[in-house]
Chains A and B, each alone.
Chain A
Amino acid sequence: MPGVDGFMYPNEIELQWSVLIVLYPFITGLVAGAFILASLERVFNVQAVKPTYRLALLTALAFLLVAPLPLQLHLGHPERSFEMMLTPHTTSAMAMFGFVYLWYLMVVLLVEIWLEYRRELVLACRRSTGLTRVGYRILTLGSDNISPASLRIDDRVGRVVTIIGIPSAFLLHGYVGFIFGSIKANPWWSSPMMPIVFLFSAIVSGIALVLLLYVVTAWMRRVAVDMLCVDTVARYLFYAFLVDFALEMIDLIHRIYEADESFRALDFMVKTRLFTSQIVLQIIVGTLVPLTLLAATQLVRLSERTRVRLYMTAGALTLVGIFAMRWNVVIGGQLFSKSFLGYTTYKMGFATREGLLPAILLMLLPFGILAALVKLLPPWTSPEAPS
């Protein structure tokens, strides 16, 4: 059989979950990570990162809106996908995830953004006319009250929402990890560490994304980058990455040490079919290099310019590495046979329903949405805008 080495059960030869299913945990990971960064300021009062607060929220929203799209493209019957909401099977992590997603979108993210921006929305409503005014009226739910008392209440409620939001964000991406980690049939996936590894890699990717977006948008707006802010964000990125790296190392060492029945087959797969994506992209380029660069900024005195450049490089490489991690989990988990006697190949189409082209478009879409959101709800009009 072309592309098959050794023996695979006949039904295993063609991969079931494509690059779109790789995209999905990547996107929800960015959401969870961006939100955790935002919550650093709100709940833990890390004032230094306040310039990224609104941007992080909008980033989370832009990506969360796109998150269901790769899934819909993948489903055999997307027109029936609402069944997951109507008759969710409570033993299925995938079903329960639909509600976690909805909860997070509606009750956490949208409410928090609404409370944060309500004052600006009401002001915009007051000074606009015609259809735009109608639009803003809808967004403000028809309320015109921005008295100091109401804004104080907003702030307190917002704080509560964020506090609820942190475990919700953990759930959002931990669940995705559980979707894979709970499958006993697949030894590459089955692990109690899966939700935790997914979560921490999500936090890393989200922080890296917001860091990159903040610097890029500052450059685009020709304003100075708030160094205290980026230094702090980068430091949190470094810490989170250290934890993530440690967790992945624990998983790896555990596998190598226990060497159960699946080990040799998986080891062979990593060294051959997954060599580029796992060893090169995920581990070296995507983890060790950014960690080294970030460590350098923490240990050595460097100029602002150099630090920003290192942060940007580390951030970009981090995103590559975390994407590679998702790829290795999803695709890697389907490249080997459950008989442990063979391997297959992933044939990714280009302009097909689950091909590379829709994947690229889906990755670009959130940036388009973010651009629209930034126009509608500017993150830079908060009092602490960088000078």
Chain B
Amino acid sequence: MKRPFKDVEHLIRLAALFAAGLLVFAVARAELVPEDFGKYGHYRAGAIDDAAAWPRSYAGRARCTECHDDVVTAAAPAKHKVIGCETCHGALLKHADNPEVAVAKADGPVLCLRCHAANTGKPAHQPTVVAKDHSDEDTCVSCHKAHDPRTDQE
């Protein structure tokens, strides 16, 4: 008996092999692609939650005022009032959540010079000093209180 597809039988087997491959691919895709992929766009929706769940280290000014309102008020008349507490005192969320956690001492003059060192290209409106000429051996805080750096007040 003459089989009708005898001479293309090998090609049919090849086609079947490809079909099987496609099937495997389809199954793999259904299994392996994360459930929430494509919900909002071409990405895993859970990635947004992952990004939002990152732990915070900085508390924000509002938190400091909760307990240290007096310091904030005292600093109010001076130019430094616009500077947030954590700018100099570092990340404070742990401390804000648990006041037992110690706060590292703000280290002037390194901190002071970051903003106030002269000849470093700072804009004209920013007061700058050449530290050596300005105060020689004395540290900045000998004359300027960091929260209220005015020297004409007592």
A interface residues with partner B (beta carbon < 8 Å): 82, 85-87, 89-90, 106-107, 111, 114, 118, 140-143, 145, 147, 149-150, 153, 157
Residue of B6, B7, B17, B21 with highest tally of chain A CB at under 10 A? B7
Tell me what chain B mostly uses at the interface: helix, strand, loop, or mixed.
Answer: helix
B39 within 8 A of A: no
A141 contacts B42, CB within 8 Å?
no
B interface residues with partner A (beta carbon < 8 Å): 6-11, 13-14, 17-18, 21, 25, 28-29, 32-33, 37-38, 42
Give the residue of A85, A87, A114, A150 whose beta carbon is less than 8 angstroms from that of B25: A85
Give the residue of B8, B13, B18, B37 whose beta carbon is less than 8 angstroms from that of A87: B37
B25 contacts A89, CB within 8 Å?
no
B7 contacts A142, CB within 8 Å?
no
- Whole-angstrom distance between the alpha carbons of A150 and B10 in the complex? 9
- Nearest residue in B to A157 (C-beta to C-beta)? B11
A145 contacts B6, CB within 8 Å?
yes
- Whole-angstrom distance between the alpha carbons of A147 and B6 in the complex? 10
- Whole-angstrom distance between the alpha carbons of A385 and B14 in the complex? 29
- Nearest residue in A to B30 (C-beta to C-beta)? A86
A86 contacts B7, CB within 8 Å?
no
Residue of A86, A89, A106, A114 with highest tally of chain B CB at under 10 A? A86
Query: Chain B contacts of A143 at CB under 8 A?
Result: 9-10, 13
- Nearest residue in B to A142 (C-beta to C-beta)? B13
Give the residue of B17, B32, B38 whose beta carbon is less than 8 angstroms from that of A141: B17
**Can you show 28 pairs from A to B with CB atoms below 8 A apart?**
A82-B28, A85-B25, A86-B28, A86-B29, A87-B33, A87-B37, A87-B38, A106-B18, A106-B21, A107-B18, A111-B14, A118-B10, A140-B10, A141-B10, A141-B17, A143-B9, A143-B10, A143-B13, A145-B6, A145-B7, A145-B9, A145-B10, A147-B6, A149-B7, A150-B6, A150-B8, A150-B10, A153-B11
Query: Chain B contacts of A147 at CB under 8 A?
Result: 6-7
- Whole-angstrom distance between the alpha carbons of A106 and B19 in the complex? 12
- Nearest residue in B to A152 (C-beta to C-beta)? B7
- Nearest residue in A to B13 (C-beta to C-beta)? A141
- Whole-angstrom distance between the alpha carbons of A107 and B37 in the complex? 29
- Whole-angstrom distance between the alpha carbons of A74 and B101 in the complex? 44
- Chain B's nearest CB lies how many Å from the CB of A178? 20
- Whole-angstrom distance between the alpha carbons of A106 and B21 in the complex? 10
- Whole-angstrom distance between the alpha carbons of A208 and B37 in the complex? 46
7 interchain residue pairs of minimum CB distance: A143-B10, A150-B7, A141-B13, A149-B7, A86-B29, A86-B33, A89-B42
- Whole-angstrom distance between the alpha carbons of A149 and B9 in the complex? 12
B42 contacts A87, CB within 8 Å?
yes
- Whole-angstrom distance between the alpha carbons of A143 and B14 in the complex? 10
- Chain B's nearest CB lies how many Å from the CB of A113? 12
- With A141-B10, A145-B7 already in contact, the answer to whether A86 and B18 are too (CB < 8 A) is no
Query: Chain A contacts of B9 at CB under 8 A?
Result: 143, 145
- Nearest residue in B to A141 (C-beta to C-beta)? B13
Query: Chain B contacts of A111 at CB under 8 A?
Result: 14
- Whole-angstrom distance between the alpha carbons of A141 and B16 in the complex? 10
- Nearest residue in B to A147 (C-beta to C-beta)? B7
Query: Chain B contacts of A89 at CB under 8 A?
Result: 42
A141 contacts B25, CB within 8 Å?
no
Residue of B11, B17, B33 with highest tally of chain A CB at under 10 A? B11
- Nearest residue in A to B42 (C-beta to C-beta)? A89
- Whole-angstrom distance between the alpha carbons of A387 and B19 in the complex? 43
- Chain A's nearest CB lies how many Å from the CB of B70? 41
- Whole-angstrom distance between the alpha carbons of A239 and B123 in the complex? 62
- Whole-angstrom distance between the alpha carbons of A153 and B33 in the complex? 40
